[in-house]
Amino acid sequence: MKVFLTVILGIGQLLFSIAASSIQVSFHDTQVFLPQFTRFQTRAPAGTTRIWAAMSTDLVDHVYSTNATELQYLIDFYGFSIEGPKGTGTGYIYTTQQPNTVPVYRLYGIGRTDHFLTTSVQERDLAVKRWGYHVEGILGYIQETPSTGLVPFHRLYNAPIHDHYYTTTEKEREDASRNGWTEEGVLGYIFPLEDDAPALDTTSV
């Protein structure tokens, strides 16, 4: 890849600018220069998808979803809004099992109006058996150990209001832990939200 880029750069500015858009699409995992932020950012690799965070202050619930149709449904019918509004505090997760990844189970406790993410099968089964949650499915596949380019997806819980909350943003983690949420470690490590990540496209759903 580096050789390919060097070759293109060697050909000249004009060819580079023509090739730039296709590089971004076909080589999603390369470092791409973002002029508006004047720095390099590692792109999430192919095979990953964006996690969106939606919240409802009425239901006191945070939902994490990769499904734009579901998100639109939550917004239209349940009064949720996208956090951010572009969706801060999230990132990109693998859609299929990769080496060193584990499934993230998404559960819902209807009596608690709480969406809950866990990678632990024991915890998942306990939540079903003891606390009335049901398993909604797999959000994606997450890396359990840190590595270059990944950020921790922190897990917090507010027991009195039954709200699980997840964020990659240190400021959000600190704010939440000052406001009643208890830190519960990390869910895993994900690719950070890209600076030029678009807002939820509600026209396509």
Ligand X SMILES: *[C@@H]1O[C@H](CO)[C@@H](O)[C@H](O)[C@H]1NC(C)=O
Q: Which residues bind ligand X (CB under 6 A)?
A: 67, 69-70, 73
Burial state string for 151-188 with b = 16 or more CB within 10 A and e = fewer than 16: bbbbbbbbeeebbbbbbbbeebbeebeeeebeeeebbb
| C-beta of 70 vs 184, nearer to ligand X | 70
Q: How far is the CB of 204 from ligand X (least distance, A)?
A: 13
Q: How far is the CB of 4 from ligand X (least distance, A)?
A: 34
| C-beta of 73 vs 131, nearer to ligand X | 73
Q: How far is the CB of 43 from ligand X (least distance, A)?
A: 23
Q: Give the dihedral sign, CA 117/120/123/125.
A: positive
Q: How far apart are CA 123 and CA 77, in angstroms?
A: 30
| C-beta of 30 vs 113, nearer to ligand X | 113
Peptide bond into 198 cis (omega under 30): no
| C-beta of 67 vs 169, nearer to ligand X | 67
Nearest to 195 by CA among 52, 81, 33: 33
Q: How far is the CB of 195 from ligand X (least distance, A)?
A: 27
